[in-house]
């Protein structure tokens, strides 16, 4: 490929207002282009990286025994109604077609895969099934961010497995885990696997693959001493309980104290002496969650504990319906029938301040077990750094990370809700146990760029680079130009030949920015000795090689393969 | 791949209510599955055919110098506003995101590619650009049809080229034409290229690649004698004019004659003696079209003649606004300022019946040139079979066909409307001249299945088959089973190994239905002589070969290559 004909040249100017260094480099190098908020085009260089990612993932999925299929991105709303997710995924776009049929622009594909499997599943002999695809998702994210790291349209690899039993799903999971590790290793990034929340995908357990990165939009809690790591939303850590003699409950006027901040100031108490109550909505009705005010609620933990999705916070209407008073919510004097979940730090701390379900009033010296009660006590608060690791007593730290992959144990939630059954080996009806997983290819490309760069630009791993080699010549000598043309012809599709009339300085700079593994330079000086300069982008190591050997060096590059379809 | 583990088995029962034989076979063979109206999943077998189509198209596009990119399927409505297409493409779905931004689920990608090119185009040196992608389109079709032949979600190959001049676009066009021919040849289908309408894609000229097929939803007009062929909507043919002495214009009462049928009966005249006037909407205002009542209007011809898109027929409101009377529209006494296009058969026929723009009245003996006049006389009516070929005098025939590809000369319509300019070699601003093209991969798969089948099932061309060989064994002999397992292991990814316990009869039937090029059978009888039975699906030719030679026969199959990513 000649650089002069390539769509998407390097930009001379620094793109404006961009914080993410990987995004800036992908823009500057001409890999991607923004078309709208969270909507990106992949230019030829970016597309070739994408196809290389696709090849690596395909190879690992095939090795796992996966079968590739295609499920449409537009799906009937009816199947989302059956799973119960039609109404509460905020990122889900619905629309009507001309015939008045309601359709969904799918943010994920659990429902579609259940429907695809339905027609072909009858007996246990048809299981397990490991299915995957490369397909678009559309997620109407509230905030998109930093280029490819959170987009609305996502070109995604996603997979869905169907098993005869939970035991079989459990046996499959470590294999999937290993395949994910291999994928990220082959992409040249280091990841942590960490337990994570399940969000609207649901199910019982999930693991995220996170790449530590300053500025990453995920928080990872990690122990400095042992192997413990978890996504912040589900991480656990030691808590300090506030013990003490129980004092008498006392109602106090707290005029104008609508916030925790105001209340702490008014009562002259630290936040740790106050309880905070929040009402969350779930498909089984509202749930009042109580944590100590020096913590934040972790909805993912409530969801895991109650085994229902948590949709979000209640609004004024739902508060009124539940018989609660905004600004003074309380587990003390709880309206009958309302479900209550209490954080363990609240249950084990004495004499906290609670709301009174009465505007302008609170209770002092409230005590769990005496003033209110619930069977549902659990860890439902967010863990922060500087807490104690429950596994080894070490200190937890919070680091920023980028999520590059996510695997889920879904169990039988979807198959049961959507009534996809099979006959087990005893002739009884059973629901397949599902696993699922996903890798956003744009986000992964961004992470690879983040991890493989230096102050001069990108430095792609060989397996992902859009070309194996970048070729240029120096000077106006016809012999040099001819030698460069010959090299280009010999290397064919594997080389990006910079045939512009620009100065060597401009070309060196662009070669560094583009980050192609080998840079070949033909110059008068070395051509006289029959040599070509070959420089490795990642190490900077320079060799002078005869042309034939330079060609071999390019062809021998370990992982690099041309993209889909370029081989005939 | 073992058949027992494959997702999507053959169906034992004939699918209900399906007319298209190719659709029925794809369903029965387990290649595809319907998820909703016009929404299909490709199961593993179908996906492998799809990937093979993608490989062939990719190879031809690369040979043409094309560069693959990815433009998002969801695009900002703003760019559709700039091109002027936001409001009148009926198949286009619009929706709002959370932030209130209007987005489009793209039915085609001209606008997006103009935007992608914009940022990278400055001088004529950046042209030409040949760009393509494989990307989803969503078209809210009024009627979907016959499985893959007209779907709402379309997995499509589409390309867009940008040229310095119309001359350059013209030089590129024959190359594109040839690449399309090669693609369809390699897919094992015979196509006619025929001039066609441009529809909402617009531009100046287009050619469809049509495969003649009973039940196909396209009509192709073809000369039985010469090479002339065109899509019915733009085909031209000889017309018989009704000459005669001009008689005096006469207004007659035609009570209750709201239709041509009623009018012809009331006046006791053949339809050819009546003129029919219809009001069409265009971006430059309404246009009254007049044809003889024995013809139908061809909106595509009006569009080509006036060089504006024709949106569709006017409703009552627009008729009233134009000052016309429904049921009696007429070019005689035309309200001032209304544009009039007259079919040449009307202009050259004497003494026709016209409306009178007055309910319950018509004119007899209307004559173009005397009673009304227009500078815009053209062929704007549909040609039917049994007419004379204007090129050779032969007889035209109308045949049913399936459209499998479409190429367009767009000219500078989009680049001008969206103001994408470059500096030409004289330093002047100029608009790139565009070409574009598209192939729906599902529709192509359906056409290939249609053309490559017999009464027993599918018979894929080698280059497209999901596997090169189908392998089975007969009987319970352990030696036979072992030999089959060994063959399967040796052939690896290239064979579909039917390891089911079913009878040979069931397997033979399924092998025929699936249509994989070679069927390998291991049986006690032949194994004793060290031979394997190899049958060609398309010819039925049987050979008995030693195992090693059978393996070679599979590996030597001409075009067949494994699908994306299955090669390591």
**What pLDDT, in 10s, does the model give residues B226-241?**
989 899 999 999 998 9
CA dihedral B263, B266, B272, B276 (to 10 degrees): -10
Would the pLDDT of A74 be above 60? yes
Query: Does residue B153 surpass a pLDDT of 70?
Result: yes
Give the tens place of pLDDT for each residue, B502-527: 999 999 999 999 999 999 999 999 99
Q: Which of B9, B40, B116 sits opposite A72 (nearest CB)?
A: B40
pLDDT at position B224 is: 86
SS3 A406: strand
If you count them, how many residues does chain B have?
Answer: 568
Average pLDDT over residues B406-410: 95
Per-residue burial over A177-193, b if 16 or more Cβ lie within 10 Å, else e, is eebbeebbebbbbebbb
Q: With cut-offs at 50, 70 and 90, classify the pLDDT of residue B559.
A: low
Q: H/E/C letters for each residue in A23-59? A: HHHHHHCCCEEEEECCEEEECHHHHHHHHHHHHHHHH
Which residue shows structure tokens 């991480």?
Answer: A235
Cβ neighbours of residue B523 closer than 8 Å, sequence gap 6 or more: B473, B474, B475, B480, B533
Position A568 pLDDT exceeds 80: no
Please give the pLDDT value at position B381.
96
Chain B residues inside the 8 Å CB shell of A95: 93, 95, 105
What pLDDT score was predicted for residue A201? 80
Residue A101 touches chain B, beta carbons under 8 Å: yes
Does residue B126 carry a pLDDT above 80?
yes
Strands B396-411 and B422-423: unpaired
Q: In angstroms, rounded to a whole number, what is the distance separating the alpha carbons of residues B94 and B101?
A: 10
What percent of chain A lies above the pLDDT cut of 90?
82
pLDDT of residue A557: 87
Find the range with the poorest average confidence among A84-93, B41-50, B175-184.
A84-93
Containing A482, the helix (H) or strand (E) segment is helix A478-491
* Segment A413-424 mean pLDDT: 94
**Taking all residues of chain B, what is their mean pLDDT, rounded to a whole number?**
93
Q: Is A171 helix (H, G, I), strand (E, B) or coil?
A: helix
* Structure confidence at residue A558 (pLDDT): 61
H or E segment and range at residue A159: strand A153-163
Chain A residues whose beta carbon lies within 8 Å of the beta carbon of residue B9 = 120
pLDDT in tens, B65-83: 999 999 999 999 999 999 9
Which A residues in the span 126-155 are in contact with B, Cβ-Cβ below 8 Å? 129, 131, 136, 138, 140, 142, 152-153, 155
Yes or no, beta carbons of B153 and A98 under 8 Å apart:
no
Percent of chain A clearing pLDDT 70 (strictly above)? 98
Q: Which of A191-205, B338-352, B406-420, B428-442 has the lowest mean pLDDT?
A: A191-205
The answer to whether residue B75 neighbours chain A at the CB level (below 8 Å) is: yes
Please answer whether residues B448 and B559 qualify as being in contact, where contact means their C-beta atoms are separated by less than 8 angstroms: no
Of the candidates B48, B50, B119, the beta carbon closest to that of A33 is on: B119
**Which strands, in side-by-side order, build the sheet including A361-366?**
A250-253, A361-366, A352-355
Label the pairing between strands B361-366 and B352-355.
antiparallel
Distances (CA, A) of A551 to A490, A532, B447: 8, 10, 44
Phi and psi at A243, nearest 5°, equal -75, 170
Beta strand A67-68 with A129-138 is parallel
Query: What pLDDT score does A258 carry?
Result: 85
Please answer whether residues A343 and A381 qualify as being in contact, where contact means their C-beta atoms are separated by less than 8 angstroms: yes
Identify the pLDDT of residue B558: 61
- Choose, out of B40, B91, B119, the residue to mutate when testing the contact with A (most A CBs < 10 Å): B119
Q: Which long-range contacts (CB under 8 A, 24 or more apart) does A419-426 make?
A: A419/A82, A420/A114, A420/A117, A420/A118, A420/A121, A422/A121, A422/A122, A422/A123, A422/A124, A422/A126, A422/A127, A422/A164, A423/A122, A423/A123, A423/A124, A424/A124, A424/A164, A425/A124
Percent over 70 (pLDDT), chain B: 98
Cα–Cα distance, B51 to B159 (Å, whole number)? 18
> Please, are residues A113 and A71 in contact by the beta-carbon 8 Å criterion?
yes
CA neighbor of B324 nearest in space, from B357, B355, B286? B357
Chain A residues within an 8 Å CB radius of B568:
59
**Quick check: A209 pLDDT over 80?**
yes
DSSP structure class, residue A272: G
Rounded Cα distance between B276 and B352, Å, is 10
ipTM: 0.91
- Tell me the average pLDDT across B126-155: 93
What is the mean predicted confidence (pLDDT) over A60-67? Answer: 96
Strands (E), B441-555: 453-454, 457-458, 469-473, 495-497, 518-522, 531-536, 542-546
What pLDDT, on the 0 to 100 scale, is given for residue A566? Answer: 36
Query: By C-alpha distance, which of B475, B469, B561 is closest to B519?
Result: B469
Alpha carbon distance A508, B502 (integer Å) = 65
CB contact under 8 A, B564 and A58: yes
Q: How crowded is residue B240: how many other Cβ atoms within 10 Å of its Cβ?
A: 13
Tally of helices (H runs) and strands (E runs) in chain A: 15, 31
Q: What percent of chain B has pLDDT over 90?
A: 82
Beta carbons of B41 and A99 less than 8 Å apart: no
Is the entire prediction scored with pTM above 0.90?
A: yes
Q: Report residue A554: phi and psi, to 5°.
A: -70, -45
Asked if the C-beta of B564 comes within 8 angstroms of chain A's C-beta atoms, the answer is yes
The beta-carbon neighbor of A153 closest among B67, B73, B98 is B73
CB neighbours of A252 closer than 8 A, spacing ≥ 6?
A: A267, A361, A362, A363, A364
At B67, list the tokens.
Answer: 């560069």
pLDDT digits (tens, 9 = 90+) for B169-221: 999 999 999 999 999 999 999 998 998 888 888 788 899 999 999 888 889 99
pLDDT value at position A80? 97
């Amino acid at each position: 490929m000649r650089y002069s004909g390539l769509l998407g040249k390097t930009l001379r100017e620094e793109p404006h207002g961009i914080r993410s260094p990987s995004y800036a480099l992908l823009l500057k190098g001409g890999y991607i282009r923004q078309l709208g908020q969270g909507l990106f085009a992949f230019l030829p260089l970016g597309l070739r990286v994408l196809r290389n990612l696709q090849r690596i993932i395909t190879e690992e999925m095939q090795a796992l025994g996966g079968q590739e299929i295609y499920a449409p991105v537009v799906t009937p709303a009816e199947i989302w109604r059956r799973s119960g997710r039609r109404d509460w995924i905020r990122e889900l776009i619905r629309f009507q077609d001309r015939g008045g049929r309601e359709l969904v622009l799918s943010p994920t594909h659990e429902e579609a895969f259940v429907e695809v499997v339905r027609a072909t599943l009858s007996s246990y002999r048809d299981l397990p099934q490991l299915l995957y695809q490369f397909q678009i998702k559309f997620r109407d994210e509230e905030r998109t961010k930093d280029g490819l790291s959170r987009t609305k349209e996502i070109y995604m690899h996603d997979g869905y497995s169907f098993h005869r039993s939970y035991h079989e799903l459990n046996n499959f999971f470590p294999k999937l885990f290993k395949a994910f590790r291999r994928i990220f290793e082959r992409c040249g990034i280091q990841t942590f696997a960490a337990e994570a929340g399940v969000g609207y995908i649901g199910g019982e357990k999930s693991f995220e693959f996170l790449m530590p990165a300053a500025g990453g939009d995920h928080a990872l809690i990690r122990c400095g001493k042992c192997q413990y790591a978890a996504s912040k939303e589900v991480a656990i850590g030691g808590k300090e309980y506030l013990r003490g003699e129980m004092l008498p409950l006392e109602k106090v006027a707290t005029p104008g104290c609508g916030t925790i901040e105001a209340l702490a100031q008014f009562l002259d108490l630290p936040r740790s002496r106050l309880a905070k109550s929040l009402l969350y909505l779930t498909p089984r009705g509202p749930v009042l969650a109580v944590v100590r005010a020096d913590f934040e609620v972790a909805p993912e933990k409530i969801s895991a504990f109650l085994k229902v999705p948590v949709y979000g916070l209640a609004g004024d209407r739902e508060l009124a319906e539940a018989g609660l008073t905004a600004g003074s919510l309380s587990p003390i004097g709880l309206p009958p029938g309302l479900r209550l979940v209490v954080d363990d730090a609240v249950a084990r701390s004495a004499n906290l301040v609670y709301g009174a379900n009465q505007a302008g009033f609170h209770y002092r010296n409230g005590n769990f077990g005496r003033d209110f009660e619930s069977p549902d006590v659990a860890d439902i608060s967010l863990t922060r750094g500087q807490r104690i690791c429950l596994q080894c007593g070490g200190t937890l730290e919070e680091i920023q990370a980028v999520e590059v992959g996510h695997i889920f144990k879904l169990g039988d939630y979807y198959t049961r809700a959507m009534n996809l059954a099979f006959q087990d080996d005893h002739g009884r009806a059973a629901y397949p146990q599902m696993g699922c997983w996903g890798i956003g290819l744009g986000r992964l490309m961004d992470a690879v760029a983040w991890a493989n760069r230096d102050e001069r630009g990108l430095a792609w791993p060989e397996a992902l680079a859009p070309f194996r080699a970048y070729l240029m010549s120096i000077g106006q000598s016809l012999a040099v130009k001819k030698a460069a043309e010959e090299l280009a012809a010999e290397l064919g599709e594997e080389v990006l030949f910079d045939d512009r009339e620009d100065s060597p300085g401009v070309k060196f700079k662009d070669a560094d920015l583009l980050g192609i593994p080998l840079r070949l330079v033909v110059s008068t000086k070395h051509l006289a000795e029959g040599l070509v300069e070959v420089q490795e982008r990642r190490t900077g190591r320079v060799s002078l090689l005869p042309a034939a050997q330079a060609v071999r060096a390019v062809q021998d590059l370990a992982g690099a393969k041309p993209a889909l379809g370029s081989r005939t």
